[in-house]
Chain A
Amino acid sequence: MTRTFRQALSYLLAVGVVIGLWWGVSWLLETIREREILPTPGVTFAAAVENIGTLASAFGTSALRFLIALAVAFLLGLPLGLAVGFERRLDQYLSPLIYLLYPMPPVALLLFLYLAFGLGEVVRLVVVVMALFFQVVVAAQGAAKYIVPSHVTAVRSAGATRWQIYRHVVLPATLPSVLTAARVSVGLGITMLYIAETKLGVLLGPGGGLGRFIEYYTFRGDISLAGVVGLALLGLLFYVVLELLERFLCRWKFVGARGGA
Chain B
Amino acid sequence: MIEVDGLTVVYGRGETSVPAVAGLSMEVDTYELVSVVGPSGCGKSTLLFVLAGLLRPTAGRVRVHGEEVRGVRRDVALILQDAGLLPWKTVRQNAELALRLQGRKDSADQVLADLGLAGFEKRYPSELSEGMKRRVGIARALALQPRVMLMDEPTANLDSITREHIQNLILGLWWEMGFTGVLVTHDMEEAVFLGRRIYVLSARPARVAEVIENPGMGEPGYRGTPEFAAQVAHLRQVLGGNGA
Contact = CB atoms under 8 A, between A and B. Distances in A.
A258 B87 CA distance: 12
A158 B84 contact: no
Contacts of B123: 255
B170 interface: no
27 contacts: A150-B81, A151-B84, A153-B49, A153-B80, A154-B85, A154-B86, A154-B97, A157-B78, A157-B80, A158-B97, A158-B101, A158-B144, A159-B72, A159-B102, A168-B89, A168-B101, A169-B86, A172-B86, A172-B88, A172-B89, A173-B88, A256-B126, A258-B126, A259-B126, A260-B124, A260-B126, A261-B125
Specify which of A153, A155, A173 lies most central, judged by the most chain B CB atoms within 10 Å of its CB: A153
B52 interface: yes
A154, A160, A260 — most chain B CB neighbours (10 Å): A154
Interface string A152-190: 011111111000100011001100000000000000000
Contacts of A11: none
A98 B81 CA distance: 36
A252 interface: yes
Taking residues whose C-beta sits less than 8 angstroms from the other chain, chain A's interface range is 20 to 34
A256 B130 CA distance: 13
Contacts of A156: 54, 72
Contacts, number: 74
Nearest to A257: B126
Contacts of B52: 157
Given A154-B86, A250-B88, A260-B87, A255 B124 contact: yes
Contacts of B54: 153, 156-157
Interface in A214-261: 250-252, 255-261
Contact of B84 (A153, A173, A255): A153
B28 interface: no
Interface of A: 150-151, 153-160, 164, 168-169, 172-173, 250-252, 255-261
Interface string B14-31: 000000000000000000
A158 B108 CA distance: 15
Given A154-B97, A158-B97, A250-B88, 16 more contacts: A150-B84, A151-B86, A153-B80, A154-B84, A155-B101, A156-B72, A157-B77, A158-B101, A159-B101, A172-B86, A255-B123, A255-B124, A255-B126, A255-B127, A256-B126, A261-B87
Interface residues of B, number: 27
A153 to B, nearest CB: 6
B165 interface: no
B184 to A, nearest CB: 14
Interface string B48-68: 010010100000000000000
B232 interface: no
A255 B85 CA distance: 15
- Tell which of A151, A157, A256 has the most Cβ of chain B within 10 Å: A157
B169 interface: no
B127 A256 contact: yes
A158 B126 contact: no
